[in-house]
Amino acid sequence: MTEIVVIGCGLAGLSAAIAGAERGAHVTLVSPMVPERSQSVMAMGGINAALDLKGEGDSCEQHFADTMRAGCFIADPGATRRLAEAAPDVIDWLSRQGVCFTRDEQGRPAQRPFGGQRKTRTCYSGARTGKQLVSALATQARRYEASGAVTRLMGLRLLSLVLDDDGACVGAVLVDPMTNEAIALPADSVILAFGAPNGVWGKTTGSQVNDGCAAGIALRDGLSFGNLEMVQFHPTTLETPSKRMLVTEAARGLGGRLYALRDGRPWYFMEEWYPELGALMPRDVVSRSIYRVVHEMGLKHDGRDEVLLDITHLRADVIERDLDEVLDTCLTYRGIDPRVEPIPVYPGVHFSMGGILVDEGNRADVDRVMAAGECACQFHGANRLGGNSTLAAVHGGRLCAESAVQQGPGASGPRRDAALDEALAGARADIAAWSACGPTGEPSRDVRARLVQTMHACMGIYRDAAGLERGLGTLRDLFEGCRSTGCGESYYDFLSTREELRLAVAMVGSALERKESRGAHQRTDFPDTDDERYRATMVTSWRDGRARTEVRACQTHA
Ligand SMILES: Cc1cc2nc3c(=O)[nH]c(=O)nc-3n(C[C@H](O)[C@H](O)[C@H](O)COP(=O)(O)OP(=O)(O)OC[C@H]3O[C@@H](n4cnc5c(N)ncnc54)[C@H](O)[C@@H]3O)c2cc1C
């Protein structure tokens, strides 16, 4: 029987676990928190599939074309075409797993418009799509758990991948951050589904459990990453003391209008600048437009870096039913009632298009390692379409399981056991060494504050060489300092601070090397798109103690 270890139990991890169990494998599902606490539950807007229920002539080809265009033609065309083609089956599979989609009068999944797409193709469950998806898949995973096909290990985080002498993955070492206990799990394949590296950004729309540590570890342990500079700023987020809360694109899909006050009167800048799609232009375009209105034209709302999103013209019952989370969020965190007053919004860090580079079977470039969901780089190019990431997580998770089962059993016996024993002994020695000297050097709280400040200063909506080089210098110094002194309140705090810094160094390095502007990566010193050199993937790996980035040509998009 094929033994699969899945790291992370959001939509990608759950889909991989269920698909692995469906194919007769035994799956161990590892994560720090239960699935209901994964970032996937936050998805509000929906999940895309060209079902053409409105008779608009939508097709998988059109879905593929919209995705490639929004991603500025650097997504993997073969994999993306397969994603669009698989989407109707994904919706069907999800329905069979028990997902309650909002339905139309004929009982079919209802669909609504989303940004950057010419057709109505986003299925949803009110504004709580993620909760519906995760709770249905988590229930299925528990059924497989009861039958013994899935084992769940909660409270653990990735510490290292274990490779044998041939460079193939034979398992993973995990740590319980509360007790510092480490364990080694043998595996024929390891599927990475640990989500976005939010920790390097501080306040984002996402979950802080996704700290970025696992991505730093994957980079350290030999995996190549793609397009790390491609980070999506969602145009409509609401500032709160602890994080930036998302105001879903569905609010604009249902007719929400963005405006700023000019000479005391509402000015609908998106409608004037982009009459065809208005506020539903792709997210990078809307974010840059808001930046321009606020910073270049000085049209701030009440002196704050914000513009206004108006949904007051929508019927109250539509807001209460289809935008329930938006209503809750605004009332709870800012005391604003969007049924009667506009919502102040500004772009915030929302999604990583870059991540572990995978092929059409979601295989990484270390043998027997697969990756899916937001930690992987494949489908979204320079800018993700709303509704494509839940789709990519489910589809990618299922593909990972298919690839793992196809590869079947890997190495076993004394050589594999020796590799696992050695990795576990090394991990325990590291933990003991940290415990023996305790926290030293600059407190991790301060190091993290500087990491976050540096990332926002040099990797914002606009970037340039001077800022990126300054940022890279600071991050390298922080990384070296953290490596030698062992800052941190606990071993895991030390490890995650160091690995987040490693990842941040790689991200800024990749941004420096892409000397053009494309989608989410806008360089004021290279304002043009350079298709000849950079219609390409920036591939970053960690070699000889440094992040190295090379430009790899994309397959052409037929
Ligand atoms: C507010 C918000 C709204 C969104 N709305 C939509 C939407 O409407 N449509 C859409 O398509 N997309 C949306 N997205 C994006 C989408 O939800 C995510 O990209 C997608 O759900 C990611 O799924 P995932 O399984 O890759 O990751 P996650 O759901 O983030 O799961 C990651 C898992 O890895 C675990 N993990 C983290 N670190 C470690 C570690 N060190 N070791 C082991 N395990 C670890 C976590 O605990 C978790 O179980 C939204 C995102 C946000 C933040």
Q: What does the pLDDT look like over 238-252, one tens digit per residue? A: 999 888 999 988 899
The protein residue with its alpha carbon nearest to ligand 1, atom 33, reads 8
CA of 257 relative to ligand 1 center, distance in Å: 28
What pLDDT, on the 0 to 100 scale, is given for residue 556? Answer: 61
> Which two structure tokens, joined as six digits, stand for 410?
């890997």
Dihedral sign computed on CA atoms, order 488, 490, 491, 496:
negative
For a pocket test of ligand 1, which of 194, 220, 353, 500 has the largest count of ligand atoms closer than 8 A to its C-beta? 194
pLDDT for 250: 86
Sort strands 3-7 and 26-31 into parallel, antiparallel or unpaired: parallel
The residue whose C-alpha atom lies closest to atom 43 belonging to ligand 1 is: 157
Q: How far is the CA of 512 from the centre of ligand 1 (A)?
A: 27
Whole-number pLDDT of residue 488: 79
**Interhelix angle for 491-513 vs 444-458, to 10°?**
20
Q: How far is CA 471 from CA 18, 475, 501, in A?
A: 42, 6, 12
Do residues 306 and 214 make contact, with C-beta atoms less than 8 angstroms apart?
A: no
- Residue to mutate (ligand 1; options 38, 362, 493; most atoms within 8 A of CB): 38
pLDDT of residue 483: 76
283 catalytically annotated: yes
Instruction: Identify the residue whose C-alpha is closest to ligand 1 atom 3.
Output: 43
CA of 429 to the centre of ligand 1 (A): 32
- Which amino acid belongs to residue 480? E
CATH architecture, domain defined by 437-553: Up-down Bundle (1.20)
Helical segments of 30-101, H only? 60-70, 77-97
**9-32 confidence digits (pLDDT tens):** 999 999 999 999 999 999 999 999
Residue spans of the chain under pLDDT 50: none
Distances (CA, A) of 46 to 20, 63, 180, 398: 25, 15, 38, 19
Q: How many angstroms separate the alpha carbon of residue 2 from the centre of ligand 1?
A: 26
- Strand segments (E) across 484-554: 522-523, 536-543, 546-553
In whole angstroms, what is the distance from residue 451 CA to residue 474 CA?
8
107 C-beta neighbours (distance < 10 Å), count:
7
Region of residue 24 (phi > 0: left; psi between -120 and 50: alpha; otherwise: beta): left
Q: Could you state, in order of their start, the residue ranges of all structural domains in the chain?
A: 234-348, 437-553
Cα angle value 503/508/509 (rounded, 5°): 95
Query: Cα–Cα distance between 450 and 274 in angstroms, integer?
Result: 38
Amino acid 144: pLDDT: 98
Which fold would CATH assign to domain 234-348? Flavocytochrome C3; Chain A, domain 1 (3.90.700)
The two tokens of residue 435 are 């415990």
